[in-house]
Structure 1
């Protein structure tokens, strides 16, 4: 039997059975629809992970590691594996919307859950806004490469970059918002199509690079900057893997969550890792490291300069557009589900969590977040604030690794369809995950930590002035075993 846990006060823990029961019985505002399967969830993970990172970040990685950037991609994936395993265990055991927020509520208490939920709201919102700005830039690149035409800066960039209003960013945010409001089944279909398109484009790149331009001469010297270069590149590349955790936000809409969530979380990470390794090998073997490092579009440079395909830039720019759109769709989806879970628990106004009976989605919440993100993308400089995404993600990963250990100790009898190996009684895998995460967090700049602490201070004020007094657990708290 597990230990008795307090369900009043800021350290109140919400029992996992109660979390699951709330989703099954449905609150007065209705519940989410279970409508997606393993393929949809896996595509959700791939859609969130494979974005513009692979199209551009490989050049930065090569500058640090040389052709050994291949090893950097493997090292970054290994860093993610431990957190992915922990997400898989918690998602299968507590198949409820909210991801790290919900897991913290069931393991570390309401205050910690609020902190991570507040953190994820910012992380996901800023991510969507920043990616929308990137979408506008890639749209102009596609138009220029394909039609020798580009939108004027006045309507294609934010005021901080000399423009007036970033119209493309607003357009894509509102378009994604509309798709999300239509229902999770429609969202999953749209994402599956986009994932298929970008995988086809990357497959085309891999095949052409290997068959027409690959030369082992480009792989020497393999590691010009030694082990330090490989590790430094891995720290940069790690953020190209972020997004697999978005799968767990769909737990409440999965048809068979106990089976499908672990498959989708781990499966999407494995698929993305294989694709990244193949792309990196094809790239560094098809063009010299110096050219790749200096190019703003390294994959396009491989096809153009290495393989002699002049229309490569247009194809890769189109691929980047599709990749960015699917990232936006999945991350925006994740944000609404986390906000939904917090509102349903009373930590946010409960009216926000009302589900439309026809679409089975929180439409009002989706529209509200969409308008806020569109304004952010249109007018606010995101260059510095976007760095909060990195620390926010790592913080969520940290708590999920810790949460597995805590739940093993406090609820040893609970059903766990998927179990992290080497997690109990000596939590080897979670401790490795925690160690790697803390190492990466120490590499983040000091100003990022200052902004993070500032955002957390605002969140704590909201919790103690509103969330704590409106929390359903606090108002109906009782001892649970």
Structure 2
């Protein structure tokens, strides 16, 4: 297998710190708002073990995708790796699963933030829908101006977010009560597994920035550095907020709907402003997540159009330094339709979350399997890939029957690729050639 020559590619614009910010936004996501409470409800203080396991499992997964991104810095991301390892059909499956998962996952994240805004401002479901729509517009416009603008926006969001989470953890240190660790496992040790299953949403994100690998100024150096910094920052923040929730809030950690806001209100003495703080935190987290995924999905769609797995019309903007506005427009339009559909049906974000989780599980499975074929035997990166594959298999088991959705998407991708190849192989008439 010949590794593409990175020196022959145009130079991208993303810096290490902008890439780190995109990673933090993609991985930290909206989970830190509500998941500490849900995990504590499932397993009590023992939920901290589930958080620790999540952080440890993120290390080999992040290292695997960073190693692949360094060797193959292409907008296709995981789809490109799978293409090199297993061929065009498998690449189309992965590409479709990721590309069509983002228009479901992004609106779900927007509606999570909308719930917090509605809690602070009122307005019910109308506020939820309006918030989600406004967030979609912001990230679409930011990415429409290119990764330079999007990366700078993400860097500002990441700094604000890290400051907010550190404040929540550090200002509550005087309120820590070690007695809150007893009983440590009130629901039994098996409940730790249940808590870990709830954290699957936070497990996602390490693959998103691989689509932007070619947009780094120096992918071979900058991508691994950005990944390493993000792993440390995200892991520390997850553990700090989760530990503060248990040690400070005690039994209330499993009942509050806004643990982060409760911590800030207690640590900073802000009292009644708790709902406003919760809304601000939700907006920051959600905007960062959506911005990172929109950037990755737009780049992926252009690459799939270039490679024949999606209409060639989407290929414009697939080269490094270009803006894939057509692909971005498709992602934005589908996301808007998803928001409208859930608002009309009145079902909320839950179905969108489940569809997204199943799709990403399939992407991880094929991506880590491709890494075992592409990365050098005996290398640290390949050993990380093996560990990541084991973790992803466990993720697939927890996903259950929701894998049915990525199977439908995969069938659609294979059907399109088959029709495209049949059309290309059909001899054209003289009149068609003239046109």
2:93 to 105, 110, 115: 115
Tell me if 1:131 matches 2:90: no
Q: SS in structure 1 opposite 2:228? A: helix
2:350 to 378, 383, 386: 383
Show the counterpart of 1:151.
Answer: 123
CA contact (8 A) 1:292 1:298 kept: yes
Change (3 A) 1:125 1:101: same
Show the counterpart of 1:457.
Answer: 411
Tell me if 1:394 matches 2:394: no
CA contact (8 A) 1:174 1:374 kept: no
Q: Following TM superposition, by how much is the alpha carbon of 1:137 offset from its aligned partner in structure 2, in angstroms?
A: 2.1
Q: Following TM superposition, by how much is the alpha carbon of 1:436 offset from its aligned partner in structure 2, in angstroms?
A: 1.9
For residues 435 and 275 of structure 1, the distance between their equivalents in structure 2, rounded to whole angstroms, comes to: 25
Q: SS in structure 2 opposite 1:74? A: helix
Q: Following TM superposition, by how much is the alpha carbon of 1:242 offset from its aligned partner in structure 2, in angstroms?
A: 1.6
Change (3 A) 1:244 1:305: same
1:72 to 47, 50, 56: 50
Show the counterpart of 2:4.
Answer: 17
For residues 169 and 389 of structure 1, the distance between their equivalents in structure 2, rounded to whole angstroms, comes to: 17
For residues 374 and 41 of structure 2, the distance between their equivalents in structure 1, rounded to whole angstroms, comes to: 42
Show the counterpart of 1:444.
Answer: 399
CA contact (8 A) 1:348 1:467 kept: no
Give deviations 1:420-479, integer Å, cap 9, x for gaps: 5173xxxx4433322221122112232x122232222222211211267559xxxxxxxx
TM-score (norm 2): 0.89
Q: SS in structure 1 opposite 2:141? A: helix
Tell me if 1:198 matches 2:198: no
Tell me if 1:94 matches 2:72: yes
Aligned length: 419
Unaligned segments of structure 2, at least 5 residues: 426-435
Tell me if 1:329 matches 2:294: no
Show the counterpart of 1:315.
Answer: 277
For residues 379 and 276 of structure 2, the distance between their equivalents in structure 1, rounded to whole angstroms, comes to: 43
Tell me if 1:432 matches 2:382: no
For residues 340 and 178 of structure 1, the distance between their equivalents in structure 2, rounded to whole angstroms, comes to: 17
Show the counterpart of 1:58.
Answer: 36
Change (3 A) 1:376 1:398: same
For residues 225 and 97 of structure 1, the distance between their equivalents in structure 2, rounded to whole angstroms, comes to: 45
Tell me if 1:421 matches 2:380: yes
Give deviations 1:203-236, integer Å, cap 9, x for gaps: 111122113x111111111222343222321222
Change (3 A) 1:76 1:467: farther
Show the counterpart of 1:478.
Answer: none
2:260 to 293, 299, 302: 299
For residues 83 and 406 of structure 2, the distance between their equivalents in structure 1, rounded to whole angstroms, comes to: 21
Show the counterpart of 2:227.
Answer: 265
Give deviations 1:357-390, integer Å, cap 9, x for gaps: 9x83012222232122112112235422421222
For residues 304 and 37 of structure 1, the distance between their equivalents in structure 2, rounded to whole angstroms, comes to: 35
CA contact (8 A) 1:347 1:467 kept: no
For residues 261 and 356 of structure 2, the distance between their equivalents in structure 1, rounded to whole angstroms, comes to: 27
Show the counterpart of 2:24.
Answer: 46
Unaligned segments of structure 1, at least 5 residues: 3-14, 25-30, 145-149, 158-165, 413-418, 472-481
Aligned Cα root-mean-square deviation (Å): 2.6
1:188 to 114, 139, 151: 151
Give deviations 1:404-430, integer Å, cap 9, x for gaps: 221247xx7xxxxxx95173xxxx443
For residues 60 and 184 of structure 1, the distance between their equivalents in structure 2, rounded to whole angstroms, comes to: 35
For residues 217 and 375 of structure 2, the distance between their equivalents in structure 1, rounded to whole angstroms, comes to: 26
Change (3 A) 1:312 1:445: same
Change (3 A) 1:181 1:231: same
CA contact (8 A) 1:67 1:219 kept: yes
Show the counterpart of 2:433.
Answer: none
Tell me if 1:285 matches 2:247: yes
For residues 422 and 147 of structure 2, the distance between their equivalents in structure 1, rounded to whole angstroms, comes to: 31
TM-score (norm 1): 0.81
Change (3 A) 1:179 1:73: same
CA contact (8 A) 2:13 2:147 kept: yes
Give deviations 1:172-197, integer Å, cap 9, x for gaps: 21221011001111000111111111
CA contact (8 A) 2:26 2:290 kept: yes
Show the counterpart of 1:245.
Answer: 207
Change (3 A) 1:307 1:188: closer
For residues 390 and 19 of structure 2, the distance between their equivalents in structure 1, rounded to whole angstroms, comes to: 28
1:372 to 322, 327, 334: 334
